[in-house]
Amino acid sequence: MVQVLDLEFIEYISLDKLKDRIAELADEINQEYKDKNPVFLAILNGSFMFISELFQNIKVECEISFLKVSSYKDQNSTGNIKELIGLNQSIENRHVIVVEDIVDTGKTLHFIKSTLKNNNPLSIKVATLLHKPEATLISNDLDYVGFEIVNKFVVGFGLDYNGFGRNLPAIYIKKE
């Protein structure tokens, strides 16, 4: 058990399981994007550990850039999405892979994909470490999913609770 601020969490997905599954996702991407030179767009802050582990296993020629959006406060999505750091390179006629830490309501991802489509990419695919199907309000195509999880609050491996807990080496679920 770990304490993050005023909440207690228990381990939910171990570091070994995370690394194994991320390597599998990278293998899928390597096969699909051979000779396509994709650009990975990692969504900050939460995806930084996922993209780091994923990128260590990517073998195809590619580029990476970062977007930062915010829609969370405390343990809940606010529903208000603000683009904080925008796209700093052209994605026109490029294959884009959006890298998310978690997809729950789908609102943030829908906003990101809609914004990116205005830049005329050849394709947009999504890699997410975690997906909460029970929380989905807006359906999005998720092409590479690490784990489907229950609709509970999680931290660790980049995911936070009010800015804390990102450095935990596994995924932890809020203790009931």
Q: Average pLDDT, stretch 133-137?
A: 94
pLDDT of residue 80: 66
10 Å CB burial of residue 93 (0-12, 13-18, 19+) is exposed
pLDDT of residue 52: 98
Give CA torsion, residues 133, 8, 47, 98, to 10 deg.
Answer: 10
Is the per-residue pLDDT at 150 higher than 60? yes
d(Cα 22, Cα 54) in Å, to the nearest integer? Answer: 6
d(Cα 113, Cα 21) in Å, to the nearest integer? Answer: 24
Could you report the per-residue pLDDT of 32-64, keeping only the tens digit for each?
999 999 999 999 999 999 999 999 999 999 999
Domain count, the chain: 1
160 occurs within a structural domain? yes
pLDDT of residue 82: 60
Task: Please state, rounded to an integer, the average pLDDT across all residues of the chain.
Answer: 92
62 occurs within a structural domain? yes
105 occurs within a structural domain? yes
Is the per-residue pLDDT at 126 higher than 80? yes
Model confidence, pTM: 0.92
121 occurs within a structural domain? yes
Question: Which of 27, 104, 141, 160 is labelled catalytic?
Answer: 104
CATH number of domain containing 10: 3.40.50.2020
The number of beta carbons lying within 10 Å of the beta carbon of residue 142 is 19
Active site residue 20: no
Bridge partners of 154, per DSSP, are 173
